[in-house]
Amino acid sequence: MEVAIQRVVDVDDVENTINTEAMMDSGHNFAMVGLLIALFAFCLSVTTPWILDEFAPPPPTIEDIAVEKVINIKDKLLLSFGFGVAEVVDGAEKEAAEKEEAKHWTDYWSLIVILIALGGIINGALGFMRKDTQMMAGVAIFFGISAIIAQYMMIMFAVLVLILLVVGILSALGVSF
């Protein structure tokens, strides 16, 4: 009787192995792809401060701003005394000039990381639905959500510190909760 039970378990293991190999051969391993994408998004999310510091465009220097202000003041003084010609800028030209100053790709960094993390989450969910490795699909979803949360971790930390300061000050003043 024990031999028969052992034989049934062995057959199930063979079927599961064959199904897993067949799924991997046919390219339906969404959990693995989701895990790789989610880990990539998590790494990008955690290293955001260093990436943005390295690739963000440098801010204008004080000298550039000072020279620009002096030139503007000089032009306004000359115009007030009747020298020079005032530039008339239409609204359409002003909007075109603002659009010309295109945003840098680092301005969209959070959106980029969140979209990559959503790709990992979606692939992890597809892995759950297709009965891929359940643990791998769960970890893919976990790292995808962690990547999104890590983008806003500093804001959440600052809010937490602010709440603790307010509670500490109010409790020192004798206010009880």
According to the 3-state scheme, what is the secondary structure of the chain? CHHHHHHHHHHHHHHHHHHHHHHHHCCCCHHHHHHHHHHHHHHHHHCHHHHHHHHCCCCCCHHHHHHHHHHHHHHHHHHHCCCCCCCCCCHHHHHHHHHHCCCCHHHHHHHHHHHHHHHHHHHHHHHHHCCCCHHHHHHHHHHHHHHHHHHCHHHHHHHHHHHHHHHHHHHHCCCCC
Cα atoms in the 13 Å half-sphere on the side-chain side of 148: 14
Residue 97: pLDDT above 70? no
Is residue 168 a part of any domain in this protein? Answer: yes
Q: Beta-carbon neighbour count of residue 34 at 10 Å?
A: 28
Is residue 65 a part of any domain in this protein? Answer: no
Is residue 94 a part of any domain in this protein? Answer: no
Residue 66 is predicted with a pLDDT of: 84
Query: What confidence tens digit (pLDDT) does each residue in 109-157 have?
Result: 888 999 999 999 999 999 888 877 788 888 999 999 999 998 888 788 8
Residue 106 is predicted with a pLDDT of: 73
Residue 162 is predicted with a pLDDT of: 92
Is residue 44 a part of any domain in this protein? Answer: yes
**Residue 125 lies in domain:** 2-57+104-172
Query: What confidence tens digit (pLDDT) does each residue in 63-88 have?
Result: 878 888 888 888 888 777 777 666 66
Least confident of 6-10, 27-31, 145-149: 6-10
Is residue 143 a part of any domain in this protein? Answer: yes
Q: How many domains does the chain have?
A: 1
Is residue 68 a part of any domain in this protein? Answer: no
Residue 16: pLDDT above 80? no
Is residue 26 a part of any domain in this protein? Answer: yes
Is residue 160 a part of any domain in this protein? Answer: yes
Residue 146 is predicted with a pLDDT of: 92
Residue 84 is predicted with a pLDDT of: 65
Residue 121 is predicted with a pLDDT of: 93
Residue 151 is predicted with a pLDDT of: 85
Q: What is the mean pLDDT of the chain?
A: 78
Residue type, 65: I
